[in-house]
A and B are shown apart, each in its own frame.
Chain A
Amino acid sequence: MPEPQVLPVAAAGIVFERDGRRLLDVADIAFDGIGCTVVLGPNGAGKSLLLRVLAGLIEPDEGRVTWAGRAPDRERAPRLGVVFQRPVLLRRSARANIIYALKVTGTPASRRQAKADAVLAAARLEDLARSPARLLSGGEQQRLALARALALEPEVLFLDEPTSSLDPASTKAIEDMLKTAALAGTRIVLVTHDTAQARRLADDVVFIHHGRVLERAAAPSFFAESTAPQARAYLEGAILA
């Protein structure tokens, strides 16, 4: 087992403000080990912002993010995969998208084709390998984005509501890929507002509201007896102010 380069991914004293509004105020959070953490909360809670801060994509106004105890850096960035709500695919074929990612992150040329074909097959996209990526359907594009992220064999994979605009079949395909990746040892951190999806995938849950982490608990205990009143109300379907 190679030495972890980015785990644990941790943040301490994070504050992020815009226009006088405190959008994120997280005292302490860390992701380590194995399994799938679901970051749950209503729209605008700060889930996606937290993910971007942890991924080193946004600099917080205060606080510190660390990957394996050190500040994020470009060299280790590929060890932390990110899949966005709207997949960002390059203007190339499906296979070329994966080969590009492998190339720029240092995979030897001799291994790229085979690796790309393997992940395309795992995502059931082998028949679309030569198709322009941006002409694929929404579900296919998201599967391709996930396959591209997994091709880099990240230690931890952050996903920002990857199925929010997908139909049930496409959602299931993505969730199946995530379960397989988690079983293979990739640490999954999934942002969602979908409680049903959280119940299907979560090993533990972080509940966030108004930029604050109100609760973190193992999934069975969170869904059975969450301690935060806002989390209980959210699970019961109430609209949080």
Chain B
Amino acid sequence: MQDFAGEFAHAFRLLLRLDPDLLAIVVLSLRVSLSAVLFAALIGMPLGAVLAVTRFPVRRVINVLVAAFMGLPPVVVGLLIYLLLSHAGVLGPLRLLYTPTAMIIAQAVLVTPIIAALARQTIEDVHGEYAEQLAVFGIGPWQKVTTLLWDARFSLLTALLAGFGRAIAEVGAVIIVGGNINHVTRVMTTTIALETSKGNLALALGLGVILVTIAVAVNALVFALRATAVRTAHA
């Protein structure tokens, strides 16, 4: 117990003195996950909107696939992207393996279905309510989608935060495609896994505290957004 207490104390000292190694890992983690969420949103939001407001033959199949991909095993995604980016892979010439870009791709693949599915559900709900009124205004499909996206903005932000929560906590895929290289591709989750296996609990605990803090902050933000939405009747 004494050792654990000492590791905790060391972890908090690292946090309080803003240890440069620790900060670099945190910054890289945020950069990778925020970038992944941005790309996932650019694909997932329009995909969700199209699935919500249009009708085409394979729409149901895509809906099922998107929902199924929400639960993709990260290590499998990591493995597939590894195969794509490895020297012999289709994207091998791009030399992206073991770079933050590879980690962004892996996280984006994991997060896109989450954002697309949540966006589809959210926009479908608003569309069900608005469809006749928007038809009365005679607006076209593009204006319809932009109206729905704007009016569902609070719920869509919740979808983004859910995606970010998944991305920042992810370890299996990024450790495969990133390689956990010190000062290059080492992020919070992979560092925690590595340092714990080495018995260096202080750094692992310090990063764990930051990860938990981020998770709590993200959830607090979700609750605050919902409260704002209800208060201003945007729900």
**Residue in chain A with minimal CB distance to B234:** A91
B147 A90 Cβ-Cβ under 8 A = yes
A77 B232 Cβ-Cβ under 8 A = no
Q: Mark B210-235, 1 if CB is under 8 A from A, else 0.
A: 00000000000000000000001111
Query: In chain A between 26 and 81, which residues have their CB closer than 8 angstroms to a CB of chain B?
Result: 52, 55-57, 74-78, 80-81
Residues of A within 8 Å of B143, CB to CB, are: 104
Residues of B within 8 Å of A91, CB to CB, are: 151, 233-235
Q: Mark A89-104, 1 if CB is under 8 A from B, else 0.
A: 0111000000011001
Residues of A within 8 Å of B136, CB to CB, are: 55, 57, 77-78, 80-82
A132 close to B (CB within 8 Å): yes
Contact residues of B: prevailing secondary structure: helix
Contact of A101 among B132, B137, B151, B232 (CB under 8 A): B137
Rounded to whole angstroms, the CA-CA distance of A75 and B86 in the bound complex is: 54
A84 B132 Cβ-Cβ under 8 A = yes
B133 A77 Cβ-Cβ under 8 A = no
Rounded to whole angstroms, the CA-CA distance of A52 and B133 in the bound complex is: 11
Smallest beta-carbon distance A189→chain B, Å? 14
Query: In chain B between 101 and 153, which residues have their CB closer than 8 angstroms to a CB of chain A?
Result: 129-130, 132-133, 135-140, 143, 147, 151
B129 A88 Cβ-Cβ under 8 A = yes
Smallest beta-carbon distance B21→chain A, Å? 46
Contact of A57 among B130, B132, B147, B232 (CB under 8 A): B132
Given contacts A57-B132, A88-B130, contact A104 B137 (CB under 8 A): yes
Smallest beta-carbon distance B144→chain A, Å? 9
Count B-side interface residues using an 8 Å CB cutoff: 17
Q: Tell me the number of A-to-B contacts counted with CB atoms below 8 Å.
A: 54
Smallest beta-carbon distance A147→chain B, Å? 14
Rounded to whole angstroms, the CA-CA distance of A135 and B137 in the bound complex is: 23
Rounded to whole angstroms, the CA-CA distance of A82 and B138 in the bound complex is: 12
Rounded to whole angstroms, the CA-CA distance of A133 and B232 in the bound complex is: 9
B137 A132 Cβ-Cβ under 8 A = no
A105 close to B (CB within 8 Å): yes
B151 A77 Cβ-Cβ under 8 A = no
Rounded to whole angstroms, the CA-CA distance of A84 and B129 in the bound complex is: 12
Residues of B within 8 Å of A135, CB to CB, are: 232-233
Residues of B within 8 Å of A84, CB to CB, are: 132-133
Residues of B within 8 Å of A75, CB to CB, are: 138
Residues of A within 8 Å of B130, CB to CB, are: 88, 90
Residues of A within 8 Å of B129, CB to CB, are: 88
Residues of A within 8 Å of B147, CB to CB, are: 90, 100, 104
Rounded to whole angstroms, the CA-CA distance of A182 and B18 in the bound complex is: 72
Rounded to whole angstroms, the CA-CA distance of A80 and B151 in the bound complex is: 24
Residues of A within 8 Å of B132, CB to CB, are: 52, 57, 82, 84, 88
Residues of A within 8 Å of B151, CB to CB, are: 90-92
**Residue in chain A with minimal CB distance to B154:** A91
A132 B234 Cβ-Cβ under 8 A = yes
- Beyond contacts A101-B137, A135-B232: 11 other A-B pairs, Cβ-Cβ < 8 A, are A77-B137, A78-B136, A82-B133, A88-B130, A88-B132, A90-B130, A90-B147, A91-B233, A92-B151, A104-B139, A132-B232
Chain A contacts to B: CB under 8 angstroms: 52, 55-57, 74-78, 80-82, 84, 88, 90-92, 100-101, 104-105, 132-135
Chain B contacts to A: CB under 8 angstroms: 129-130, 132-133, 135-140, 143, 147, 151, 232-235
- Return the 4 tightest CB-CB contacts between A and B, nearest first: A77-B138, A134-B233, A88-B133, A132-B233
